[in-house]
Amino acid sequence: MTDFASLGDVRGKRVLVRSDLNVPLDGTTITDDGRVRASVPTISALAEAGARVVVCAHLGRPKGEPEEKYSLRPVVGRLSELLGRPVTFAEDTVGPSAQAAVDGMSDGDVVLLENLRFNAGETAKADEDRAAFADALAGLADAYVSDGFGVVHRKQASVYDVATRLPSAMGGLVRDEVEVLRRLTESPERPYAVVLGGAKVADKLAVIDNLMGTADRLLVGGGMVFTFLAAQGHEIGTSLFDADSVEACKGYLERAEREGVEIVLPVDVVVGKEFSADTETDTVAADAMPADAMGLDIGPESARLYADRLADARTVFWNGPMGAFEMAPFAAGTQGVAQALVDATAGGALTVVGGGDSAAAVRQLGFDDGQFGHISTGGGASLEYLEGKELPGIAILTKEH
């Protein structure tokens, strides 16, 4: 099944849509509404087709019970504004408020349930511990549409189990994400460059391992780069560092040389004495870092080098910022890579920004979503797909129940 057209005429049907509304909040203010905007086309199409749309989602990591700071209430207004129709908010997930809201729906109405993770059954590891919650969710609807790509790598009640209980289909967002990732893994136009950043190299080891067989170039930045520099024997001062991954990084550098894959590391680094926007900064050669400073961004020469290595790429996947972009003194590396992707897109390349911090970074730095080929809503799901893992929330939609 590729989209909800497979469900037939949805007029008058209650359709449970698993969206990804896990937005960053400053108190009750949404600071990046990208995921809300991405969820709108599927919800809107169902409502316009006369479905009674019951939207479910999570926010943050509550511990299986209600916590006010994780309420989805702040999302209601923005979702309603973007849809151009009212959205009713249920004060619980499957309790009396949810049941009353669903019972009161007319064709084309939209209800948003409270945070799914306020119920421990949503994220329980054992199938039997998720069953009752999945039954209750399924009881609110006649059909199910999976449209939260950011969670399809999780075997959770609203992602996996509900799809075994109701006629199910992919929403447009999930379909588009899978199609783009399939292009990255099955038939990338070359040269194919992958930019990996972010804090922890351990989170990216499996994807690096898999990409060795498909990518032509790996450009490494962010906090994870210092483990690579340490693997080369360089001083890295007080920089973020994963001692357990040094040998793996050595192995990747050697394997890349053997197999003709280019691994690009920074030639200069912006350093500071502490992780602070006010710290005194300096730019030093990547192989000459002072012992009492930490690397907080790739340097200007590195940004130019990375832009050069992206200039002729026909396919680019980027996951993870190049430095501590939230602080102005350490945003230039990420800005430079983002601009290089914009230029590549303008030149006809397929550019994919892999969700999470990368998506937040490009918006915070003033770029528009339309300047890139595709901005994923799911960083972790994107990486697991590129690792070659089966994603439970995708696999269940293609199985016969």
Binding residues: 20-22, 35, 58-61, 117, 154, 204, 295, 326, 355-358
Residue among 222, 272, 336, 356 flagged as catalytic: 356
How far is the first Cα of the chain from the last one, in angstroms, to the nearest whole number? 13
Query: 350-353 and 315-319: which strand pairing?
Result: parallel
Q: Is 77 a catalytic residue?
A: no
- Catalytically annotated residue among 37, 73, 183, 200: 200
Residue numbers in the known binding site for ATP are 204, 295, 326, 355-358
Of 95, 172, 380, 388, the active-site residue reads: 380
State the residue for tokens 């498909």. 214
Q: Compute, in degrees rounded to 10, the torsion defined by CA atoms 288, 290, 291, 293.
A: -130
Residues 367 and 369: their CA atoms lie apart, in Å, by: 7
Q: Are 377 and 151 in contact (CB under 8 A)?
A: no
Classify burial at 26, counting beta carbons within 10 Å of its beta carbon; exposed 0-12, middle 13-18, buried 19 or more: exposed
User: Is 356 a residue of the active site?
Assistant: yes
In order, the DSSP letters of 291-337 are TT-EEEEE-HHHHHHHHHHHHT-SEEEEES-SS-TTSGGG-HHHHHH
Nearest 5°: the CA angle 79, 84, 87 is: 50
SS3 151: helix
User: Is there a catalytic annotation at residue 200?
Assistant: yes
> Which residues make Cβ contacts (< 8 Å) with residue 167, sequence separation at least 6?
7, 142, 143, 144
* Binding positions for (2R)-3-phosphoglycerate: 35, 117, 154
- From 13, 35, 52, 78, the catalytic residue: 35
Catalytic residues: 35, 200, 356, 380
